[in-house]
Amino acid sequence: MSRVLLEVNELTTNYITRFRENVYAVDHVSLKVEEGRSLGIAGESGCGKSTLALSLMGYYFAPLHYSGGEIIVDGQNITGMAPDDVRKTILGNEISYIPQAAMNALNPTQKVIHFIEDVIQAHHPETTKKEIYELASERFELLGLSPKVLQKYSVELSGGMKQRTVIATSVILSPKVLIADEPSSALDVTSQKMVIKMVMDLMEKGIIKALIFITHELPLLYHVTDDIMVMYAGQIVEKGTVDEVIFDPIHPYSKALMGSIIVPEAGLRDVKLTAIPGTPPNLKKPPSGCRFADRCKFVMPECRAVSVNLRDIGEGRAYRCIIPEEDLRKAYKNEG
């Protein structure tokens, strides 16, 4: 078995809103990413994907709070580490991050190179500006970006260019794990392909060692990652390899996600176009039983009564439903 770069056990984090309400957006999530592998996380808007992405880095600030679980980065447990140590040794260095809203991720009044200087010097204060410039232009070139971009302000870059600049900046320190939060969703189709290709190249070129790729389009992951986790209302509802989850989904939600079509159009991202009827539960007051019960075709009275655990069915495959897998498969087959 190869090296585990990121291992997360029963991680729970919550937002505390200004009305002092708790939003448990990441609820007992466990995952493992090995060297050389990539993990896809899929789920509807609002299910907690972005929150999970942030939580994985072990660096919390209001309104997001840590409430339980552990994070092990390349064998080092960072759960109790001082925040400033996490910032210095983990962020950007071990785990890095591409934010969902890459359009606005760069400071509009700062040249790209100056931001890169700040990032690098935050971890290696002794590096000189010249070294940084050389490193950055080399890295940009390697990723197919002109080093001229370094001298520009983000407002001067086009959308796709901004996105690619953000990606290149995120991996400037060659982190072991990269978490990409919907890096392509706000772009037009061509840019989308380019961006996804770029992220996959990072693995091939050895700049990063493992990838976590987040999207709301489950089918998109087919070409991108090795494993998939499906998330619903802050919980993992299904885990497996790409082939397993895409061609043989067990959980009714995964099944529905595969059938749903989401139009990847800018500006419409928040509009629910999925074919799944109903809305996800309010995470401020999650239902006690199965969280998917209200929208599930196969719902039974017991579903609402008992809370369901993730059922491990071997070789990393798991799902969260009280109905046996064979019964679910049979039901799907009958539907055609």
Ligand X SMILES: Nc1ncnc2c1ncn2[C@@H]1O[C@H](COP(=O)(O)OP(=O)(O)OP(=O)(O)O)[C@@H](O)[C@H]1O
Choose the contact partner of 169 out of ligand X, other proteins, Mg ion, none; CB within 5 to 8 A by kind.
other proteins
Among 8, 11, 13, 15, binds ligand X (CB under 6 A): 15
User: How many Cβ atoms are within 10 Å of 262's Cβ, its own excluded?
Assistant: 22
106: helix, strand or coil? coil
> At what angle are helices 112-123 and 159-170 packed, to 10 degrees?
20
* Positions 61 through 100 that interact with ligand X (CB under 6 A): 63, 100
The DSSP call for residue 111 is: B
* Positions 24 through 53 that interact with ligand X (CB under 6 A): 25, 43, 45-51
5 binds ligand X (CB under 6 A): no
Choose the contact partner of 191 out of Mg ion, ligand X, other proteins, none; CB within 5 to 8 A by kind.
none
Neighbouring C-alpha atoms within 13 Å toward the C-beta of 160 = 14
Rounded to a whole number of angstroms, the minimum distance from the CB of residue 255 to ligand X is 19
Neighbouring C-alpha atoms within 13 Å toward the C-beta of 171 = 29
Residues 208-227 as x/- pattern, contact with Mg ion by CB under 5 A: --------------------
Rounded to a whole number of angstroms, the minimum distance from the CB of residue 282 to ligand X is 8
* Positions 113 through 172 that interact with ligand X (CB under 6 A): none
Q: Which is nearer to Mg ion, 216 or 251 (CB)?
A: 216
100 binds Mg ion (CB under 5 A): yes
Q: CA–CA separation, 119 vs 114, rounded Å?
A: 9
User: Which bin fits 36, alpha (ψ -120 to 50), beta or left (φ > 0)?
Assistant: left
> At what angle are helices 129-142 and 112-123 packed, to 10 degrees?
110
99 binds other proteins (CB under 8 A): yes
Residues that bind ligand X (CB under 6 A): 15, 17, 23, 25, 43, 45-51, 63, 100, 216, 283
